[in-house]
Amino acid sequence: MKKKMERALNKQVNAELYSSYLYLAMESYFQSISLNGFAKWMRGQVQEEMFHGMKIYDYVHERGGRAQFEAIDKPQTQWESPLAAFEHILAHEQAVTGLINNLIDVALDTRDHAAKAFLDWFITEQVEEEATVGEIVDRLRLIGNDSSGLFFLDAELAKREFTLPAK
């Protein structure tokens, strides 16, 4: 694997670990306002983002590279509402999609077809991430200030069970 691709993948590992950290901060926020279903949903996201980071980490090593680490930025820890938190998530996932698209560009630029094939999984994953979060944002907007709707959504989000995807 060319160094340019290795550096780009290492940068993405950091981004995925930051995502995990951000979702953990959101889990804490939701616990602090007694929306435990929202918090459980976030815990699933923490695990999923950690899985993504480790998937890239393992790939770097499989290709003969070496993982390099950078400091993980401190995430935001407070939001004015559940809707504001999920709008933040949606914008974050859209930014991550841009990062994955940039990785694809590096793979194409360096003619690294193996990396391109590997990264295709992440493209599909990001489409799913944005759709899922977008739907929750839409539902929170419909709920507005209706606390019974918020508690219903909280109960629904509590049903999420994270399972490791097949490698």
Q: What is the pLDDT of residue 161?
A: 84
| Residue 163 covered by a domain | no
Give per-residue pLDDT as tens, 102-148. Answer: 999 999 999 999 999 999 999 999 999 999 999 999 999 999 988 99
| Residue 126 covered by a domain | yes
User: Do residues 19 and 49 lie in contact, with contact meaning Cβ atoms separated by under 8 Å?
Assistant: yes
DSSP 159: T
| Residue 37 covered by a domain | yes
Percentage, residues of the chain above pLDDT 90: 93
Range of the domain at 20: 3-157
| Residue 165 covered by a domain | no
Averaged pLDDT for residues 143-167: 88
| Residue 137 covered by a domain | yes
Give per-residue pLDDT as tens, 66-76. Answer: 999 999 999 99
**What CATH number has the domain bearing residue 27?**
1.20.1260.10
Averaged pLDDT for residues 81-96: 97
Q: What is the pLDDT of residue 167?
A: 61
| Residue 112 covered by a domain | yes
| Residue 167 covered by a domain | no
Q: What is the pLDDT of residue 164?
A: 76
Q: What is the pLDDT of residue 53?
A: 96
Q: How far is it between the farthest Cα atoms of the chain?
A: 54
Write a three-state SS string for 85-114. HHHHHHHHHHHHHHHHHHHHHHHHHCCCHH
| Residue 122 covered by a domain | yes
Instruction: Look at the chain and report how many structural domains it folds into.
Output: 1
